[in-house]
Amino acid sequence: MADKYDVVVIGAGPAGYVCAIRAAQLGLKTVCIEKWRDKSGKGVNGGTCLNVGCIPSKALLDSSHKYWELSHSIQDHGIVPKDVELDVSAMIKRKDKIVKQLTGGIAGLFKANKVTSLFGTGKLLADRKVEYKDNDGNVSVIEADNVVIASGSQPIDIPVAPIDGEVILDSSGGLDLEEVPGRLGVIGAGVIGLELGSVWRRLGSEVILLEAMEDFLAIMDQQVARETHKIMKKQGLDIRLGCRVTGSKIKGRGKSKKVEVSYQTSDGKEATETFDKLIVCVGRRPFTEGLLAPDCGVDLDERGSIFVNEHCATNAPGVWAVGDVVRGPMLAHKGSEEGVMVAERIVGQKTQVNYDIIPNVIYTHPEVASVGLNEEQVKQSGEPYKVGVFPFVASGRALAADDSDGMVKLIAHEKTDRILGCHIVGPSAADLVQQVAIAMEFGSTAEDLGMIVFGHPTLSEAVHEAALAANGHAIHIPNKTKR
């Protein structure tokens, strides 16, 4: 006989496992099915984020940053390190240990919240039934009042550079290199390309990023993007804009295998570069392979995402979808909030996700973070606006830390003074932008933020000063506008 649950969640990434936990907290009998297996073949929760995404990339970014500081800038503090050595395999092992700790943590949370955790593959059938195939191939059917699809995304592969897992890698391969490549090519200078490029650059690779777009970080605030570009160049990242990769050829064998990449520049010229390794980071696509029976009633949109309304309900009654597999930015926290919203809506609450206030971060050093509208978007809306900018070079805390590249840019409505967006490149930008996200959620004006007492000396003072600057009241820089 089929098992019956209140909620079946397919996928235990940050969208799915959070949804399952919240549903169980609300008293719903919940099961979560996950097909991911670790290197030893054992089922493991956590999805892309914990296994090959947010967490392992940040582990390597932090390790490589420490190495870069030791080999480049620590001398300025009067510390002269001797015989600094790099042990890549220990670095990768540390990363794997963190991943294991966190994925194991989800198992603990499932247990504590009484979520049934199953390893294997789920497939949505008609009428809210889910076919479950365990990792030994046994098939059963689970019935549920609600099904939540949280099957995530996977890297886009491009035929001009097919992944061979040896020389041409996707982002997961780029997190698992056993030695530092002499010459590393990265296709795509987006979020993931910049993060992975930074890791290996700091560890000693010559890194060339080939980016098809003419504008650097085209969807970001362009003033902050320009500043970021300057900083990345200073760090030795060779970012070539307007360069579309058109082909790749593997050359040599065994250890001396390399890849020759051909690309076209925006003025139509053909060029080639040869790399020891190539990481393809051209974005991610929703993952729905083998997931949907033809009569399950769920529709896809033109991008292949599961079609949902603003509350993540699909076209099939009682079937929801959350996270990377649906529209919106592919970010872990966006999926988690959707997971919470769906669990709470299942029990009749009116929870919503505020899609206008979702922070977005690139974890390079310094970090690049934004929330709300950028200047280009505000300009396009036609609304009058004002801008306050505060450079970290004027921050005592940033100077003390020898970390003063970048700036905070805050945009507010010219008339209402309401904060419309904030864009930061600088130390701890991810945490700083979160302060503005909170202010925006409470409907804060730039003046409100300027009236809050900030501790001294903190990096947060740069946010305070940018808010003051929007109204011409900054203290620690000359004001462009007097109001």
The site for ligand AMP (CB under 6 A) is made up of 158, 187-188, 190-192, 210-213, 244-245, 281-283
Q: For residue 261, which phi and psi values (nearest 5 degrees)? A: -110, 130
Whichever of 285 and 473 has its CB closer to ligand AMP, that residue is 285
Which range, of 6-14, 157-165, 226-234, 299-307, touches ligand FAD by CB under 6 A? 6-14
CA distances to 171, 212, 324 from 217, in Å: 18, 11, 20
Amino acid identity, residue 64?
Answer: S
Is the bond leading into 155 cis (omega within 30 degrees of zero)?
A: no
Q: Compute the least distance from the CB of residue 262 to ligand AMP, in Å.
A: 11
Query: CA-CA distance, 98 to 107, in Å (whole number)?
Result: 15
Q: Which of 43, 152, 188, 366 binds ligand FAD (CB under 6 A)?
A: 152
> Looking at 47, 190, 193, 366, which residue binds ligand FAD (CB under 6 A)?
47
Verify binding: residue 34, ligand FAD, rule CB under 6 A. yes
CB-based contact 450:436 (threshold 8 Å): no
Task: Give the residue from 256, 30, 54 showing the smallest Cα distance to 130.
Answer: 30
Beta-bridge partner residues of 372: 421
Task: Name the residue nearer to ligand AMP (CB basis): 109 or 241.
Answer: 241
Is residue 359 within 8 Å of residue 376, measured between CB atoms?
no
57 binds, among ligand AMP, ligand FAD, none (CB under 5 to 8 A by kind): ligand FAD
Residues near 356 by beta carbon (within 8 Å), at least 6 away in sequence: 372
Phi first, then psi, for residue 187 (nearest 5°) are -95, 120
Q: Is residue 210 within the footprint of ligand FAD (CB under 6 A)?
A: no
Q: Among 65, 229, 423, 456, which one carries the catalytic annotation?
A: 456
| Neighbouring-strand partners of residue 141 | 131
Interface map 366-395 toward ligand FAD (x if CB under 6 A): ------------------------------
Name the strands in the sheet holding 168-169, side by side, starting at the edge strand that comes first in the sequence.
168-169, 277-280, 183-187, 206-210, 238-240
Residues 323-362 that bind ligand FAD (CB under 6 A): 323-324, 330-333, 335
- Residue tagged 């990769």 (tokens): 245
User: Cβ closer to ligand AMP: 303 or 483?
Assistant: 303
Contact flag: residue 291 with ligand FAD (CB under 6 A) = yes
Residue 365 contact, options ligand FAD, ligand AMP, none, Cβ 5-8 Å cut-off depending on partner type:
none
Host H or E run for residue 386: strand 385-391
Question: Which contiguous run of DSSP H or E holds residue 15?
Answer: helix 14-25
Contact window for ligand FAD (CB under 6 A) among 232-240, 243-251, 285-293, 379-387: 285-293
Name which of 101 and 266 has its Cβ closer to ligand AMP.
Answer: 266
* CB 163 to ligand FAD: min, Å: 14
Report, in Å, the least distance between residue 335 CB and ligand FAD. Answer: 4
Three-class secondary structure of residue 268 per DSSP: coil
CB of 65 to ligand FAD, least distance (A): 15
Does 464 qualify as catalytic in the annotation?
no
Q: Which amino acid is at 334?
A: K
CB of 404 to ligand FAD, least distance (A): 24
Is the Cβ of residue 259 or residue 292 nearer to ligand FAD in the bound state?
Answer: 292
> Closer to ligand FAD at the Cβ: 224 or 466?
224
Amino acid (one-letter) located at 392:
F
Nearer to ligand AMP, 244 or 473 (CB): 244
Residue 227 partner contact from ligand AMP, ligand FAD, none using kind-dependent CB cut-offs of 5 to 8 Å: none
From residue 193, give the alpha-carbon distance in Å to each of 44, 204, 429.
26, 16, 19
156 Cβ partners below 8 Å, 6+ apart?
Answer: 282, 283, 284, 285
**Do 7 and 20 contact (CB within 8 A), yes or no?**
yes
Q: Give yes or no for a contact between 23 and 343, defined as CB atoms under 8 angstroms apart.
A: yes
148 contacts ligand FAD (rule: CB under 6 A): no
Decide: is 424 part of the binding site for ligand FAD (CB under 6 A): no
Token pair of 355, please?
């899609």
Q: Kindly list the residues in this chain that would bind ligand FAD in the complex (CB under 6 A).
A: 10-16, 33-36, 47-49, 52-54, 57, 121-122, 150-153, 171, 192, 287, 290-291, 323-324, 330-333, 335, 363
Q: What residues are annotated to the active site?
A: 456
